[in-house]
Amino acid sequence: MSGLFFYFYSMDSNKKLGLIGRNISYSFSKKFFENKFQKLMLKGYSYNIYDLTEINEVDDIFSVPGLLGFNVTIPYKEKIIDYLDNLSDEAEKIGAVNCVLIENGKKTGYNTDAFGFEKTLLLHKKDHQNSAIILGKGGAAKAVKYVLDKHNIPSLTVSRNTEINYENLNKETVEKHKIIIQCTPVGTFPNIDDCLEFPFDGITKDHLVIDLIYNPSYTQFIIKASEKGAKTVNGYYMLEQQAEKAWEIWNFQKK
């Protein structure tokens, strides 16, 4: 659909989009979508940051006039589900939502993280990288596991309270799993000096290390993995791709 069509379609409309999360002033989403509105000459669109202390505050967001939908980030990707009317098949299987479409009063949850991560994984994965360690078990980690399962890549989830956790994960286990995906917020701006406890000595030049954080571009986790010779990727491309998928849902999903 052309930018010209969007321009005429939206001139007399007031379509609002946004992002809900907690402590999200650093988010890339507002600038990304405002740049998109400008590029497509969409004068009737706006994108707002909704920083919520608790998830129940989302009820106030749903009452915002002209709200077309919103993105969802930490820590509400799972909690938002109780406030929705429907889930896409993918979101239901994953158990997490990062995109909400509001249409005719109905609120439907989608997961575009899976789309973004899949694009990232397939762009960088080599044939010998055939098993993975997922660090974290929140909403983003669930989307990552969904994609790995889809591509028949066995994975081990490591978190604070899993059988294998940050304290007992060893070098040998890391050596065996050539894909490492860091899905926690540890190291996100402004806490850029923070880093997960991890046996980096198990990382080799045969590893692919993906950190879903995009701000900063190089987390301590990425830096330490890179020092061991691994191929390292941050979360920016995934973020960009999931945002494009969300845009598609908001604008083209309607019957």
Residue 19 CA to residue 72 CA, distance in Å, equals 6
Alpha carbon distances (Å) from 249 to 13, 30, 112, 180? 18, 17, 9, 30
Asked if 79 is an active-site residue, the reply is: no
Question: HSE on the CB side for 90, CA within 13 Å?
Answer: 18
Residue of 16, 77, 107, 137 with catalytic role? 77
Q: Which pair of structure tokens corresponds to residue 214?
A: 């995009």
Spacing of C-alpha 113 from chain mean position: 4
Helices (H), 70-201: 89-94, 113-124, 139-150, 171-176
Q: Which pair of structure tokens corresponds to residue 151?
A: 């591509």
Cβ contacts of 61 within 8 Å, gap of 6 or more: 18, 20, 50, 52, 67, 70
Active-site positions read 77
